[in-house]
Protein backbone atom coordinates (compact mmCIF):
# COMPACT_ATOMS: atom_id res chain seq x y z
CA UNK A 1 0.00 0.00 0.00
CA UNK A 2 1.43 3.42 -0.94
CA UNK A 3 1.94 6.23 1.59
CA UNK A 4 -0.70 8.17 -0.35
CA UNK A 5 -3.21 5.33 0.18
CA UNK A 6 -2.54 5.17 3.91
CA UNK A 7 -3.11 8.93 4.17
CA UNK A 8 -6.32 8.60 2.12
CA UNK A 9 -7.62 5.92 4.50
CA UNK A 10 -6.67 8.00 7.52
CA UNK A 11 -8.68 11.01 6.29
CA UNK A 12 -11.65 8.80 5.40
CA UNK A 13 -11.43 7.23 8.86
CA UNK A 14 -11.66 10.67 10.47
CA UNK A 15 -14.72 11.53 8.38
CA UNK A 16 -16.46 8.26 9.30
CA UNK A 17 -15.59 8.78 12.97
CA UNK A 18 -17.04 12.30 12.82
CA UNK A 19 -20.37 10.78 11.76
CA UNK A 20 -20.23 8.29 14.63
CA UNK A 21 -19.87 5.24 12.32
CA UNK A 22 -23.53 5.78 11.50
CA UNK A 23 -24.63 3.78 8.46
CA UNK A 24 -27.59 6.15 7.97
CA UNK A 25 -25.05 8.92 7.25
CA UNK A 26 -23.55 7.10 4.28
CA UNK A 27 -24.42 9.85 1.78
CA UNK A 28 -22.85 12.77 3.72
CA UNK A 29 -19.83 10.55 4.47
CA UNK A 30 -19.34 9.77 0.78
CA UNK A 31 -19.87 13.44 -0.05
CA UNK A 32 -17.11 14.53 2.33
CA UNK A 33 -14.75 11.85 1.09
CA UNK A 34 -15.40 12.96 -2.48
CA UNK A 35 -14.81 16.62 -1.53
CA UNK A 36 -11.46 15.55 -0.16
CA UNK A 37 -10.28 13.37 -3.08
CA UNK A 38 -12.42 14.67 -5.97
CA UNK A 39 -13.78 11.14 -6.55
CA UNK A 40 -14.61 7.88 -4.79
CA UNK A 41 -11.87 5.35 -5.41
CA UNK A 42 -12.98 1.72 -5.19
CA UNK A 43 -10.67 0.83 -2.31
CA UNK A 44 -12.13 3.65 -0.23
CA UNK A 45 -15.67 2.43 -0.85
CA UNK A 46 -14.62 -1.00 0.44
CA UNK A 47 -13.05 0.70 3.45
CA UNK A 48 -16.21 2.75 4.15
CA UNK A 49 -18.31 -0.43 3.94
CA UNK A 50 -16.07 -2.24 6.43
CA UNK A 51 -16.07 0.67 8.87
CA UNK A 52 -19.87 1.01 8.70
CA UNK A 53 -20.48 -2.72 8.92
CA UNK A 54 -22.21 -2.94 5.57
CA UNK A 55 -21.36 -4.50 2.21
CA UNK A 56 -19.23 -2.83 -0.43
CA UNK A 57 -21.98 -3.51 -2.99
CA UNK A 58 -24.36 -1.40 -0.87
CA UNK A 59 -21.87 1.50 -0.77
CA UNK A 60 -21.12 1.12 -4.47
CA UNK A 61 -24.87 1.00 -5.22
CA UNK A 62 -25.48 4.29 -3.41
CA UNK A 63 -22.44 5.95 -4.96
CA UNK A 64 -23.41 4.96 -8.48
CA UNK A 65 -27.09 5.87 -8.01
CA UNK A 66 -26.49 9.57 -7.29
CA UNK A 67 -25.10 11.48 -10.23
CA UNK A 68 -23.16 13.90 -8.05
CA UNK A 69 -20.86 11.09 -6.99
CA UNK A 70 -18.02 10.35 -9.33
CA UNK A 71 -16.26 7.00 -9.39
CA UNK A 72 -13.49 8.08 -11.73
CA UNK A 73 -10.88 10.68 -10.97
CA UNK A 74 -11.64 13.95 -12.77
CA UNK A 75 -9.32 16.80 -13.62
CA UNK A 76 -8.60 19.66 -11.23
CA UNK A 77 -10.73 21.83 -13.54
CA UNK A 78 -14.07 20.40 -14.66
CA UNK A 79 -15.22 22.18 -17.81
CA UNK A 80 -18.92 21.79 -18.58
CA UNK A 81 -19.92 22.95 -22.02
CA UNK A 82 -23.65 23.56 -22.17
CA UNK A 83 -25.51 21.61 -24.81
CA UNK A 84 -29.03 22.74 -23.92
CA UNK A 85 -31.31 23.99 -26.69
CA UNK A 86 -30.34 27.69 -26.45
CA UNK A 87 -26.63 26.88 -26.50
CA UNK A 88 -26.98 24.19 -29.14
CA UNK A 89 -28.64 26.70 -31.48
CA UNK A 90 -25.68 29.02 -30.87
CA UNK A 91 -23.26 26.31 -32.01
CA UNK A 92 -22.16 24.86 -28.67
CA UNK A 93 -21.08 21.67 -30.46
CA UNK A 94 -18.40 23.61 -32.30
CA UNK A 95 -17.34 25.25 -29.05
CA UNK A 96 -17.05 21.84 -27.39
CA UNK A 97 -14.92 20.56 -30.25
CA UNK A 98 -12.68 23.64 -30.06
CA UNK A 99 -12.09 23.11 -26.32
CA UNK A 100 -11.47 19.37 -26.77
CA UNK A 101 -9.11 19.98 -29.68
CA UNK A 102 -7.18 22.59 -27.71
CA UNK A 103 -6.74 20.08 -24.87
CA UNK A 104 -5.84 17.36 -27.40
CA UNK A 105 -8.46 14.97 -26.06
CA UNK A 106 -8.84 11.78 -28.07
CA UNK A 107 -12.38 10.72 -29.03
CA UNK A 108 -12.75 8.33 -26.07
CA UNK A 109 -11.08 10.69 -23.58
CA UNK A 110 -12.69 13.29 -21.29
CA UNK A 111 -9.76 13.97 -18.99
CA UNK A 112 -6.29 15.18 -19.91
CA UNK A 113 -3.45 12.76 -18.99
CA UNK A 114 -2.12 15.26 -16.40
CA UNK A 115 -5.57 15.28 -14.70
CA UNK A 116 -5.76 19.05 -15.03
CA UNK A 117 -8.95 19.19 -17.16
CA UNK A 118 -12.08 17.11 -17.56
CA UNK A 119 -14.50 18.17 -20.29
CA UNK A 120 -18.18 17.27 -20.03
CA UNK A 121 -21.46 18.49 -21.46
CA UNK A 122 -24.42 19.65 -19.41
CA UNK A 123 -28.12 20.06 -20.22
CA UNK A 124 -28.47 23.74 -19.16
CA UNK A 125 -26.39 26.07 -17.03
CA UNK A 126 -29.34 28.37 -16.36
CA UNK A 127 -27.93 31.30 -18.31
CA UNK A 128 -29.66 30.70 -21.65
CA UNK A 129 -29.74 34.46 -22.37
CA UNK A 130 -25.93 34.34 -22.48
CA UNK A 131 -25.67 31.31 -24.76
CA UNK A 132 -23.42 29.66 -25.66
CA UNK A 133 -22.10 29.06 -22.17
CA UNK A 134 -19.72 26.82 -20.27
CA UNK A 135 -18.73 26.53 -16.63
CA UNK A 136 -15.40 25.75 -15.05
CA UNK A 137 -15.59 24.43 -11.49
CA UNK A 138 -18.99 26.09 -11.20
CA UNK A 139 -18.02 29.52 -12.56
CA UNK A 140 -20.13 30.30 -15.62
CA UNK A 141 -18.79 31.97 -18.78
CA UNK A 142 -21.35 33.16 -21.32
CA UNK A 143 -21.59 34.66 -24.82
CA UNK A 144 -18.58 32.58 -25.82
CA UNK A 145 -16.95 32.11 -29.16
CA UNK A 146 -14.62 29.19 -29.90
CA UNK A 147 -11.71 31.61 -29.42
CA UNK A 148 -12.84 33.12 -26.11
CA UNK A 149 -13.63 29.66 -24.70
CA UNK A 150 -10.15 28.42 -25.59
CA UNK A 151 -8.67 31.67 -24.21
CA UNK A 152 -10.26 30.97 -20.80
CA UNK A 153 -8.71 27.49 -20.79
CA UNK A 154 -5.35 28.88 -21.92
CA UNK A 155 -5.44 31.40 -19.07
CA UNK A 156 -5.83 28.60 -16.56
CA UNK A 157 -3.03 26.62 -18.20
CA UNK A 158 -0.74 29.66 -18.00
CA UNK A 159 -1.55 30.19 -14.32
CA UNK A 160 -0.96 26.53 -13.56
CA UNK A 161 2.34 26.59 -15.39
CA UNK A 162 3.44 29.79 -13.60
CA UNK A 163 2.61 28.23 -10.22
CA UNK A 164 5.04 25.39 -10.99
CA UNK A 165 7.93 27.66 -11.98
Would you tell me which residues interact with ligand FES (CB under 6 A)?
Answer: 82, 84-87, 124-128, 131, 133
32 vs 83 by CB, closer to ligand FES: 83
Of 120 and 160, CB closest to ligand FES: 120
Instruction: Give me the residue whose beta carbon is nearest to ligand FES.
Output: 84
User: Are 33 and 12 a contacting pair, CB within 8 Å?
Assistant: yes
Non-local (6+) Cβ contacts of 61 within 8 A are: none
Contacts of 58 (CB under 8 A, 6+ apart): 49
- In the complex with ligand FES, the residue whose CB is nearer, 118 or 127, is 127
The nearest distance, CB 81 to ligand FES, in angstroms, is 9
Query: What is the rounded CA–CA span in Å between residue 1 and residue 23?
Result: 26
The SS3 assignment for 72 reads coil
Shortest distance, position 1 Cβ to ligand FES, whole Å = 44
CB of 47 to ligand FES, least distance (A): 39
Residues whose CB is less than 8 angstroms from the CB of residue 5 and which lie 6 or more positions away in sequence, other chains included: 43
Edge-first strand order for the sheet with 134-136 is 117-122, 77-82, 134-136, 139-141
Q: How far is the CB of 69 from ligand FES (least distance, A)?
A: 24
Residue with Cβ nearer ligand FES (62 or 128): 128
Residue closer to ligand FES by CB (options 56, 145) is 145
Q: Quote the CA–CA distance of 150 and 81 in Å, as a whole number.
A: 12
In the complex, minimum distance from the CB of residue 127 to ligand FES, in angstroms, rounded to a whole number: 5
Amino acid sequence: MSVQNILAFEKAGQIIEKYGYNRAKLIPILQEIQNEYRYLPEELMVYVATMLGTTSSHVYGVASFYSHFTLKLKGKYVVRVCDGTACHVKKSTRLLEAVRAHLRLAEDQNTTPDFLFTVETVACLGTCGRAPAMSINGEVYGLLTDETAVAVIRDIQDKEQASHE
